[in-house]
Structure 1
Amino acid sequence: MNLNQKAIELLEENKYDESLILFKEAVGRSRDIQSLNNLAWIYCNEEDNDINALPLLEEILRMNPKSHFPYNLLGEIYCRQVKWESAKDILEKAISIQPSKPAYNNLAVANYHLGHIEEASKYFLLGSEPSDLAMYSHIRCLIELDNKSEAKCKLDAFSEDDNEFVGEVEVADLYVELGCYEEAITWFKKGWNNYAKQPKWISRYIYSLLKMYNPILAKELLSEGINEKIIDIKEAYEEECDEDWSEKDKQVYIKELLNDKKEYEQMFEKITSGYIPTMEFDTTIQTACYLFGCNRHNHPEYHG
């Protein structure tokens, strides 16, 4: 068993500190593509330290690696750093070596933020699984491109039984964007007891109900939301503070609860007066294992 394999074995055994020592030792012995890449991956995924990983990956690129691993990892970092052009360029290089769903998704993210919605739509689709976040993002792009017929057809295929199902409220939100309020209501109902009650998505539910001329249920749901907040506020006041929950934390939380309660109290009148709640959409960067020699993911060691 070589040094890299031993380091990965320790990582699998949750012996992180010992593992990190060996990953660093491997770099000390030989600053090659495998040792630099694996240490960079550890910095990114175990320490959330892109700053330390970046120079290691830049050093690798000067060696012209034949694997997509360092390019994919660098693309992730550029996305997190909001360097969309750099992310786009490096992920295109990664895909030219070996296409992968995370790279397609992250390339879509970069294109979306660059305003290249058609390209983003294409790559989200290539990076998607049935009913997952990438497919959700693909459909959002189709809606922005005014391709609503295709968007609805693909959204109708979403299933809670799919392994990577994005979630009921997310599906409902897309139906609201399509103006399909009956379908939206169906999915909001499914998600009602599965999601934390937040005014942002509940306002979209109430809006859909009012578009379908159901003010009675809208008022019932708002009443339920208000009563839940009253209970939460009471419990928050009674909660004792400790070293992990200061008086300041408590007061901030109570203020948030009071604001939510106020939103619920004003929501019906606000929407009936013409207010249209907007959809909150954000892209999601996909991560993956890019460790050379990882047996769990059947990754061979690097051979240039």
Structure 2
Amino acid sequence: MKLETYIKKFERRVKKHPNDWQIHRKIGKRLVYKLKKKIKRNPKDISLINWCGIIALELNDSDLALEMFQRAVAVNSNVQTLNNLAYFYQIEYDDHQRAVELLERAVKMEPNSGLPYGLLGEAYLDLELYKKAAEAFTKALSFEENPSLLNNLGVALYKQGKIREAAIHFQKSWKSEDRIKDNFLDLILNYGVWDEYLNPVLSYGVSMAQLGKTKEAEEVAGKLKLFVKGYLEAGKNPIHLDIAFLEIAEIYYEAHSYTRANEMFHAALGPKMTYGISPRWISQYQYSLIQCEQLQEAEALLKKVILDTQKLMEEILEDDYYTQEEQQQHVDDYTQDIEEYKDLFQKVREGHPPSVDFCPPVMGNCYMFGCMRHGRPVYIKNEGIIFIDKI
């Protein structure tokens, strides 16, 4: 069987079973073996090297993937090789600085693709270089307008305090994705509890609340509540919804709709929910309760979270899985949480509203040239295609 046929067969397997790499592992290992033999005979064929790196990633062989991507750059430092090595550092190693260094070299070549700019924007976000991130995402959007780039530009603007401009891009991201418009049930059944495409909806809602647009904010919160309702009606486990309830509560809290915020906080912080047990969320809930003249409930909540935290400490001390040093570290962390619960509650009773400190989520994207899983083409410039022309 020709190598080209193997590559196409492997690509079909990946697309058909994207989350089960064991299914295409056998053909992938054989394909890597064939590619390595070809590379040995053609050591400067960056197309062969790139394919080997991509397939190695699909096989979870990070060492081989890194070796191939580094080799490709050494043979020919062009837009594709620099970008793909940067993508590896950004995603696999969280080495954002090294990714930026490679990508800044790539964009100096004036690529006719938005991938290097989008990836550069994400790396800048991770380095908290928000102005540069906004510029990179804006450039990427000049090639292709998609929900993730719009959302991430919104994140970069929000981080600069440009909430109004950020809200515009969060809304565009939300509206540009057909799946988000009305049918939340499809998301529930096909994409999990809190699909990342709901993130711009959340960010838009919080932004509207912070801008004083209460009506718009509550409309967004209502749409997200439809998601929760559909999730429950689909027979899904409600214990997985604590984060969704809390995110919706955050919109109502910022909009000063405290009664509705309390409903969502209660749903998230009930007996079966554990995710939201943190000083941040608890203090916001207590403030909302006090604003609704429910001081006793706020005091009872303080007692409950302290008892729950003490129980967690006891469980840690009784668990042989942890070393003595690890146990002490957890106990110190929980003790600090208890003191923070008490301190924040005192401030809440004095009328000081806890800040939300909202951090809009970044939407991930694939920026690898030639990625089979996401159907990314190889890089094309001036009609010169970097590909395996002859196999």
Q: Same fold (TM over 0.5)?
A: yes
C-alpha separation in 2, matches of 1:241 and 1:153? 47
Q: What corresponds to 1:143 in structure 2?
A: 209
Q: What corresponds to 2:187 in structure 1?
A: none
Q: Does 1:199 align with 2:199?
A: no
Map of 1:15-94 to 2, 5 A cutoff? Answer: 15-94=61-140
TM-score by length of 2: 0.70
1:154 maps to amino acid? V
C-alpha separation in 1, matches of 2:342 and 2:74? 62
Pick from 114, 121, 138: which aligns with 2:167? 121
C-alpha separation in 2, matches of 1:108 and 1:270? 32
Report if aligned partners of 1:175, 1:181 keep a CA contact under 8 Å in 2. yes
Q: What corresponds to 1:280 in structure 2?
A: 357
Structure 1 residues 45 and 267: CA distance shift in structure 2, 3 A: closer
Unaligned residue ranges in structure 1 (runs of 5+): none
1:138 maps to amino acid? Y
Q: What corresponds to 1:234 in structure 2?
A: 314
1:181 maps to amino acid? Y
1:255: how far off?
A: 2.8
Q: What corresponds to 2:53 in structure 1?
A: 7
Post-superposition CA distance 1:128-185 (Å, at most 9, x none): 36482222222222222222221111221112247xx862112112211212122112
1:240: how far off?
A: 5.8
Report if aligned partners of 2:83, 2:116 keep a CA contact under 8 Å in 1. yes
Report if aligned partners of 2:276, 2:282 keep a CA contact under 8 Å in 1. no
1:268: how far off?
A: 5.5
Pick from 271, 293, 297: which aligns with 2:370? 293
Map of 1:92-131 to 2, 5 A cutoff? Answer: 92-128=138-174, 130=180
2:275 maps to amino acid? Y
Unaligned residue ranges in structure 2 (runs of 5+): 5-47, 181-196, 232-240, 382-391
Q: What corresponds to 2:294 in structure 1?
A: 214
Q: What corresponds to 1:132 in structure 2?
A: 198
1:267: how far off?
A: 5.9
Describe the SS at the equivalent of 2:356: coil
1:75 maps to amino acid? G
TM-score by length of 1: 0.88
1:45: how far off?
A: 0.7
1:144 maps to amino acid? Q
C-alpha separation in 1, matches of 2:59 and 2:345? 54
> Percent same amino acid at aligned positions?
31
Between the two proteins, the alignment pairs up a number of residues equal to: 299
Describe the SS at the equivalent of 2:380: coil
Q: Does 1:169 align with 2:246?
A: yes
Greater displacement, 60-69 / 274-283: 274-283
Q: What corresponds to 1:178 in structure 2?
A: 255
